[in-house]
Amino acid sequence: MIRFITRRLAQALPTVLLIFALSFFLLKLAPGDMAAVMAGESGGGSAEYVQNLREQYGLERPMILQLFSYLKNVATLNLGYSYRQNMPVFDLIMSRLGPTALLMLTSFAVSILAGVALGIAAARNVNRPVDRVISVISTLGYATPLFWVGLMLILLFSITFRQLPTSGMENVAAFNEGFARVKDIAWHLVLPVVSLSLFYTAVYTRLMRASLLEQSKMNYVVTAEAKGLAPRKVMYGHVLRNALLPILTMAGVQIGSMLGGSIIIESVFGWPGMGLLAYEALFARDLNLLMGILIVSSVMVILINIAVDVLYAVVDPRIQLN
Partner 1 sequence: MSSTAERFFSNRTAATATIVIGLIVLVALVGPFLYPNDPSAVVAKPFELPFGAYPLGTDVLGRDVAAGLIYGARTSLTVALVASLAALLAGTLIGATAGYYGGLLGDMLMRCTEFFQTIPTFLFAVVIVAVLTPSMTSIAVGVAAVSWPPVARLVRAEFLSMRQREFVHAAECLGAPDHQILFQHILPNCLAPIIVMGSLTVAQAILLESALSFLGLSDGSTFSWGYMIGAGRTFLRSEWWLCAIPGMAILVTVLCINIIGEALNDALNPLLKD
Query: Least distance to partner 1 from the beta carbon of 79, Å?
Result: 14
Contact (CB, 8 A) for 294 and 271: no
From its phi and psi, is residue 98 left (phi > 0), alpha (psi between -120 and 50) or beta? alpha
Q: Please tell me the count of residues contacting partner 1 according to CB under 8 A.
A: 49
CB atoms near residue 213 (< 10 Å): 15
Residue 165 near residue 269 (C-beta atoms within 8 A): no
Residue closer to partner 1 by CB (options 235, 259) is 259
282 binds partner 1 (CB under 8 A): yes
Contacting residue, 30, 67, 307, 310, with partner 1 by CB under 8 A: 30
Q: Which of residues 168 and 256 has its CB atom nearest to partner 1 in the complex?
A: 256
Residue 237, phi then psi, degrees to nearest 5: -85, -30
Please, what is the minimum distance in Å from the beta carbon of residue 180 to partner 1? 28
**Any long-range contacts for 273-281 (C-beta under 8 Å, 24+ apart)?**
273/96, 273/97, 273/98, 273/99, 273/100, 273/101, 273/102, 273/103, 274/93, 274/96, 274/97, 274/99, 274/100, 275/100, 276/96, 277/92, 277/93, 277/96, 280/84, 280/85, 281/82, 281/84
Q: Which stretch binds partner 1 (CB under 8 A): 19-27, 95-103, 111-119, 224-232?
A: 19-27
Is 146 a binder of partner 1 (CB under 8 A)? Answer: yes
CA distance 220 to 234: 9
**What CA–CA distance (Å, rounded) separates 117 from 122?**
9
Query: Looking at 48-56, 59-67, 167-175, 280-288, which segment touches partner 1 (CB under 8 A)?
Result: 280-288
Binding mask 230-269 for partner 1 (x = CB under 8 A): -----------------------x--xx-xxx-xx--xx-
Beta carbon nearer to partner 1, 185 or 260: 260
Query: Which residue, 168 or 260, has its beta carbon nearer to partner 1?
Result: 260
Nearest distance, CB of residue 143 and partner 1, angstroms: 4
> x/- binding map, residues 192-231, to partner 1, per CB under 8 A?
---------------------x------------------
Q: Are 266 and 275 in contact (CB under 8 A)?
A: yes
The single residue among 159, 182, 218, 314 that binds partner 1, judged by CB under 8 A, is 159
- For partner 1, which residue of 142, 157, 187, 312 counts as binding (CB under 8 A)? 142
Chain residues in the site for partner 1 (CB under 8 A): 15, 18-19, 22, 26-27, 29-31, 139-140, 142-148, 151-152, 154-155, 159, 213, 253, 256-257, 259-261, 263-264, 267-268, 278-279, 282-283, 285, 287, 290-291, 293-294, 297-298, 301-302, 305
